[in-house]
Structure 1
Amino acid sequence: MIDLSDLEPFASGYNRHCYQHPDDPALCLKVLRPENIEARFQRQPWPKKALGKARINDNHQELKAHRQQAIRTLIAQGRDSLLWSHLPRFHGSVDTSLGLANVSELIISSDGRPGETLEHYLQRRGFDQPVQDTVERFCNWLLETGILTRNLLPHNLVISDRTGQPELFLVDGLGAPSIPDILARIPAWRRRYISRRIKRFHLRINWETGERNESWEASQKL
């Protein structure tokens, strides 16, 4: 068991804390925040509660997302370098003092620090040309690989310049849990689904960098 009791997370979302692995600083440990998971579950209408808590367990959903067909196919074809060019390498789960944790590559910048989120970058510098090019490469990668994601949110994407140019890495939001596997196997449907996620992504970037005169929920409508 990995002891995290004396460590502080380097990043936190509503559902999970992210820790640097105490024995291997190149790895990230994602630990659930059970109090928030429970609060989220209690807010669900009763039909969704009947489906259980696994559907809102981000670690469980992430494990499932890494078993999607597109990822399995890339691994079987030996195209690992393409697969992990915009995803942190994934290493399964381990026991920690704070519960089960998902283990993945820690995305760092050339200075050795954890990469900056796209959300923070947009707040600092806006949607400038370097990050426009970065976003285009990431979106092209999604279309090329057929990897399914949830809605693409800037706080779930991290920028790293460790290869000499900035690249986006999806650190959260992988998978499409509400999509039946039979649909995910159809190339034309998958491309249409991904194209829709990309359109929403650009809408979100525009909202993040704009005046925000309306809520995100209103602005994202297509």
Structure 2
Amino acid sequence: MLVLKKENFVGKGNERACYIHPGDANKAVKITYEGNNRKKSKQTNLEIKSYQELAERGLSDWSSLPRYFGTVNTNKGEGIIVEVVRDYDGKISKTLEYYLDRDGTAAYAKELNEYRDFFLRNKVIFNYGMMPNNILVRKNSENDRDLVLIDGLGDVAYFTFPNKIAYFARRKIKRRWNKFVGKYLS
């Protein structure tokens, strides 16, 4: 069992908390924390299923998603292990929300277009949890940045069969992208 301590804590959302893996500083462990809005994290199960589907499809471009390394039992319950998103200087990347507040949306137009194209090209479905505080801006250098989704992967719809058909998957991604833009970037 992996023991997560207070000093490993990175942050938390509505359902889950994130810790730096005590045995590997380049990995994080996401766990459902006690007293969250739900007893069991639906997002964790959805994320695991989504990562497994992407692996089965042979996704090779991980520029906008942290890599997934499986599940682990911890002293705080079952967790999933993912890549820690870091800048070129080794610091943990900051949220898009932080940068939008500081620099405005126009400063990230190129990255936002590349981000949308990543989802469309790879037919990666995201849910309505994709918001600026769940997206990190990974600085690869002073002038090169990627946006990385750290929460909100997968489709919360009951009937997901159409997502397997490229045409319908892309339509869904475009609809959700337009809602994301309208809600957070306008």
TM over 0.5: yes
SS in 2 for 1:2: coil
Instruction: Return the letter of the residue paired with 1:61.
Output: L
User: Highest CA radius of gyration, 1 or 2?
Assistant: 1
Cα deviation for residue 91 of structure 1 reads 0.6
Counterparts of residues 50-199 of structure 1 (less than 5 Å): 53=40, 56-68=41-53, 71-73=55-57, 75=58, 79-80=59-60, 82=61, 84-129=62-107, 131-151=108-128, 152-162=130-140, 165-199=144-178
Per-residue deviation, residues 192-220 of structure 1 (Å, max 9, x unmatched): 1000111112112335xxxxxxxxxxxxx
Structure 2 unmatched runs, 5+: none
Could you list the per-position Cα deviations for residues 49-100 of structure 1 after superposition, in whole angstroms to 9, with x for gaps in the alignment?
xxxx5xx4322221112133x5522x1xxx51x2x11110101110111111
TM-score by length of 1: 0.76
**Any conservation in 2 of the 1:14–1:33 contact (CA below 8 Å)?**
no
Bigger fraction of residues in helix = 1
TM-score, normalised with respect to structure 2: 0.90
Conserved in 2, the CA contact under 8 Å of 1:17 and 1:32? yes
Larger displacement relative to structure 2 (155-164 or 11-20): 155-164
Equivalent position amino acid for 2:56 in 1:
R
C-alpha contact 1:143 1:194 (8 A) present in aligned 2:
yes
Which residue number in structure 1 is paired with residue 14 of structure 2? Answer: 14
Give the CA RMSD over aligned residues.
1.8
Q: Where in structure 1 are there 5+ consecutive unaligned residues?
A: 42-52, 208-222
Q: Which secondary structure state, in structure 1, belongs to the residue aligned with residue 174 of structure 2?
A: helix
1 or 2, which has the higher strand percentage?
2
Question: Partners of 2:90 and 2:172 in 1: how far apart?
Answer: 35
- Name the SS of the counterpart of 1:178 in structure 2: coil
Count of matched residue positions in the alignment of Structure 1 and Structure 2: 184
Sort the Cα spacing of 1:156 and 1:12 in 2 relative to 1 into closer, same or farther, 3 A: same
Kindly provide the amino acid, as one letter, of the partner of residue 72 in structure 2.
V
What does 1:28-67 correspond to in 2, within 5 Å?
A: 28-37=28-37, 40=38, 53=40, 56-67=41-52
C-alpha separation in 2, matches of 1:172 and 1:165:
22
Q: Distance in 2 between matches of 1:19 and 1:146?
A: 29
Q: Match of 2:170, SS?
A: helix
CA shift in 2, pair 1:23/1:187, >3 Å:
same
| Aligned-residue offset at 1:188 | 1.6
Q: Among all aligned residue pairs of Structure 1 and Structure 2, give the percentage whose two residues are the same amino acid.
A: 27
Q: Which runs of 4+ in 1 moved over 6 A?
A: none
CA distance in 2, matches of 1:106, 1:199: 28
